[in-house]
Chains A and B, each alone.
Chain A
Amino acid sequence: MFKNYLKIAFRHLVKNKSYTFINTLGLGVGLAACIIIGLWVNYELSYDDYHKNSEQIYRVLNGDVAAIPPTLAPTFKSDYPDLAKDVVRFWPIKSPSDIVYKDKRFAEQNITFTDPGIFDVFTHPMILGDKETALSSSHRIVISESMAEKYFGEETPLGKTITMWGQNLEVTGVFEDVPLNSHHRYDFLVPIELLHTFMGNMMENWTWAGFYTYMLLPENVQPIQVETAIASTYDKYTEEEFPAPQLQPLNDIYFGSAEKDIAITGNFNYVFILASIAIIVLIVACVNFMNLSTAYSTMRKKEVGMRKTLGAQRNQLIGQFLGEAILLSLMGLSVALILVEISLPFFSNFTGNPLAIPYESNWGTILGFVGLALFVGTFSGSYPAFFLSGFRPIHALKETTRTASSGGGLRKGLVVFQFVVSIFLIVAALTVYSQLNFMQEKDLGFSDEQVIITGAENYQAFKGELEKTPGVQKVSAAQSVPGQRFPFYPIRTADMAPDSLPTMRTLRVNPGFIETLGMEMTMGRSFDEEIPTDATQSFVINQAAANYLGWNDPIGQELSWYDFSEDGSSFEVAKQGEVIGVVDDFNYASLHNPVEPLIIHVSQDINMAVIKLHSEDTGKTIAQIKESWNSISPGSYFWHYFLDDELDRQYGAEQKLGQLFGGLTLLALFIACLGLFGLTAFSTQQRTKEIGIRKVMGAGVQQIVVLLNTEVVKMVTLSLIIAIPNGWQILPTALKLASVFLQWRA
């Protein structure tokens, strides 16, 4: 029987080629979209999964804050040896630092100070070196495979000496590159013990919240026990009031970013929204399939009638037609897999996620695909199967059948449904686009155009040269620039209770910074090089800080700013003075979040030069700047970037998601059109006789084209009539969707 079903199914597919083609292509495209988005979703969900102990690894948060004191890890380890197998800290450096090997010198970003236990907690297979001893004394460094390649090429890195921060470090290991699906990545691991050289007693300070602390718990320990123990540790060792500690599972970090987090994290809303759209595209493809199969079912009437006459039960027929639907969806699946193979490299490149179908690694994938095809076949085949198997034999075998148009109403309804869905998607996509444009065109509060950022070695001499360069408009310097994370430091005002020491983001700059980036002052003035007290006892705060501190008239208010004490054991007042100006809020972190309070003051503790160029001939100007750099700091690497490029990159994720949204929408529309085309082709075929008669009666080709297309025009018009007014109504919903999409907070 099965063979008979297969034969007849294949013969039908061969006979009705356009039907087969349209159905297979529609399902193929829908499934391909689903598979690709599925792979992407799977990748997004796979963050940090690769660690063998990932289920047992937790990160310590104080309340919602990820950065915590350096002292917790060693204290907890010695006080509660049974509660954690190991505790490891990360202290990623915030701005690029030079790494030097012989004549090679590069400013590196991915340097992290850590504890020797990192290799026991996390899974980073060592290619060279011994993971037990690699970080066991202060002047060692372990590097990633690609860094080994970059600095040492063919040489063996082990035992070589690298210089960083003026310290000679011995390369003691090479680890496999940290996978891209990690919430925190590093190319250089340096022992935290080395940090003692620079930080001294600060490392015993309970108020310095800058370390990310991870624990590997034994199987029998519950996170709540550890949380309680951490709270008691704080109680025992410090007067400082901490919010209740929490253990955050490693696998939750990527989607559950904390305050002061270690890195930019993922957004579950994106995952959710794209997955929903992919499913909608697949549903549109399924509806196509239902429609076409139902339309073409009239061709199977005689067969159904005859089979029933011969004693076939309805469920046997349902089985037969479901089987055919599954066969078609399996064909669609093969088309989909080919499409996926072709488009995946582009897609991976586009999203920056290395996606691949893991054929070799598990049968589960293959079973999953087949399961998907079965589901799609059953879902979209069930209506046609019930419809077909419901024919009564005596009617089905009647000579004159009016059924060519039966089910036509439903079919038209489904076509309208497809177009309504597609148009809704278009409305939503347009909304997202306009929001993105809004973000890109939104006033950042400063001008990022024609601004390059470079290193600041021998800054005063460098600045002298730059001011003589004709292509340079303005020059200043700062410790960090917008787009980076500005560090928190304690501050205090006269109004505050003596024991409170709130922290505020701090930006240290040279005079001229505010002007170089074209920021607006709302009150008072900015720093002036000519006024000596501006460097020693003046602050500029942003509007958010004025609001936060509750000052209506901030100018002249007294403020103390704290830094580590000389021996590093505590914070002490490092600058005391008054507010001389309020700068308008500018977006220094992310347009997704409101501008946070910020305190700005003058310091020579700077990392980078900020150079505003004239718009002509920037290439030539940069070449001149490089020349000056090389003459002033010979042997030092000249790095630079355009500030606007860097900031654009930060919104790249949204932009890409917006484009994906648009792309999927177009696919849905394409599939809906394909289905409409199929139905039109079918009804043309059905109406050949009518067309013949009309031609005989003298109808021209044009009139016939009109005749055949009125139906289509009617359906598309109806879709527009339904979708557009409702589109306006759902616009607020779409906006909400978009705002979820962008995590927009107005």
Chain B
Amino acid sequence: MIKTKNLKKVYTTEEVETTALSNVNLEINEGEFVAIMGPSGCGKSTLLNIMGLLDNPSDGEYHFLGHEISTHSERERAQLRKGNIGFIFQSFNLIDELTVFENVELPLLYLGVDSAERKEKIETALDRMGMMHRRNHFPQQLSGGQQQRVAIARAVVANAKLILADEPTGNLDSDHGDEVMKLLAELNEAGTTIVMVTHSPHDADYARRVIHLFDGHVVTENMQEGFHV
């Protein structure tokens, strides 16, 4: 599903050049649950953004679903992203002026799904995340754990093949964090590919494979033996 070859990312800002990623070679297959770990600033988010087609690599190749996309325009990337990739962020990134229902509806609107089908899909997703009863609330009226569940509902509502989660439990206490991890594990069980950035070894235990990044390099890749359910 995902294949990178000598992936490199350099940020150039006024005089300073930061090499965020260098020579990253990775392959992630459909149905995997991969955790990316590493110290702050080592390039985890950068890698995730490139995988999520939010950014272009500076050099190297990136194959997503068979497309070589490192030279795709923003427009083409947006098109490919739509419906295929769901995102979960540390800070949830729900839109404050939209209700739970409307936030989850957003990806479907951009996919042009008709209203009846939208309603059905949103309700399924919210049900799955246990958020149906809060459908008409605004994000600010929810706890962090609830907000993240809404964000997950938004990520899955369009049946994305790949979910990218950047420190999804970073802003949550451990109980709520566990809840979120369980939901992700369930999604993976059901066949969704998940790539997750985390600082927490506990969370990483949910994944089948852990990739360690250090200073823009992949240092180790471990296959987990057994994992929690």
Judge: A and B partners, yes or no. yes
B83 contacts the other chain (CB 8 A): yes
B95 vs chain A, min Cβ distance (A)? 5
B215 contacts the other chain (CB 8 A): no
| Bound: A254/B49 CA distance, A | 69
- CB of A311 within 8 A of CB of B54, answer no
When distances are taken between beta carbons in the complex, the residues of chain A under 8 Å from B98 are 4, 7-8, 11
Question: What count of chain B residues pass the 8 Å CB interface test?
Answer: 27
A397 contacts the other chain (CB 8 A): yes
Residue in contact with A313 in the complex, picked from B49, B54, B75, CB distance below 8 Å? B75
- CB of A310 within 8 A of CB of B102, answer no
Docked complex: A376-394 residues within 8 A CB-CB of B: 393-394
B135 contacts the other chain (CB 8 A): no
Q: Mark B40-64, 1 if CB is under 8 A from A, else 0.
A: 0000000001001011000000000
- CB of A394 within 8 A of CB of B49, answer yes
When distances are taken between beta carbons in the complex, the residues of chain A under 8 Å from B161 are none
| Bound: A308/B87 CA distance, A | 11
A735 vs chain B, min Cβ distance (A)? 49
B91 contacts the other chain (CB 8 A): yes
Q: Mark A1-17, 1 if CB is under 8 A from B, else 0.
A: 10010011001100100
- CB of A302 within 8 A of CB of B107, answer no
Q: Mark A329-370, 1 if CB is under 8 A from B, else 0.
A: 000000000000000000000000000000000000000000
B33 contacts the other chain (CB 8 A): no
- CB of A311 within 8 A of CB of B93, answer no
When distances are taken between beta carbons in the complex, the residues of chain B under 8 Å from A1 are 109-110
- CB of A311 within 8 A of CB of B82, answer yes
Q: Mark B82-103, 1 if CB is under 8 A from A, else 0.
A: 1100010101011111100010
A399 contacts the other chain (CB 8 A): yes
Q: Mark B63-86, 1 if CB is under 8 A from A, else 0.
A: 000000000001100110111000
Judged by DSSP, the binding face of A is helix
When distances are taken between beta carbons in the complex, the residues of chain B under 8 Å from A302 are 93, 95-96
- CB of A305 within 8 A of CB of B78, answer no
- CB of B106 within 8 A of CB of A397, answer no
Q: Name, among A4, A306, A308, A394, the residue most crowded by chain B CB atoms within 10 Å (CB to CB).
A: A306
| Bound: A313/B74 CA distance, A | 9
| Bound: A8/B52 CA distance, A | 26
- CB of B97 within 8 A of CB of A310, answer no
When distances are taken between beta carbons in the complex, the residues of chain A under 8 Å from B91 are 397, 399
Question: What count of chain A residues pass the 8 Å CB interface test?
Answer: 24
Residue in contact with B105 in the complex, picked from A4, A11, A12, A314, CB distance below 8 Å? A4
When distances are taken between beta carbons in the complex, the residues of chain A under 8 Å from B219 are none
B197 vs chain A, min Cβ distance (A)? 14
Q: Which residue of chain A has the shortest Cβ distance to B45 in the bound complex?
A: A394
A303 contacts the other chain (CB 8 A): yes
- CB of A311 within 8 A of CB of B95, answer no
When distances are taken between beta carbons in the complex, the residues of chain A under 8 Å from B106 are 4, 306-307, 310
- CB of B97 within 8 A of CB of A311, answer no
- CB of A4 within 8 A of CB of B97, answer no
24 contacts between A and B (CB under 8 A): A1-B110, A4-B98, A4-B109, A7-B98, A7-B102, A8-B97, A12-B97, A302-B93, A307-B110, A309-B52, A309-B54, A309-B93, A310-B82, A310-B107, A310-B110, A311-B78, A311-B83, A311-B107, A312-B78, A312-B110, A313-B75, A314-B75, A397-B91, A397-B93
- Please report B residues at the A interface, Cβ cutoff 8 Å: 49, 52, 54-55, 74-75, 78-79, 81-83, 87, 89, 91, 93-98, 102, 105-107, 109-111
- Across the A-B interface, give the 7 residue pairs with the lowest CB-CB distance, nearest first: A311-B82, A11-B97, A310-B107, A311-B110, A1-B109, A303-B95, A394-B54
- Please report A residues at the B interface, Cβ cutoff 8 Å: 1, 4, 7-8, 11-12, 15, 302-303, 305-314, 316, 393-394, 397, 399
In addition to A4-B102, A309-B81, 15 A-B residue pairs with Cβ atoms within 8 Å of each other are A4-B98, A4-B109, A7-B102, A8-B95, A8-B97, A306-B106, A307-B106, A309-B93, A310-B81, A310-B107, A311-B110, A313-B79, A316-B110, A393-B54, A394-B55
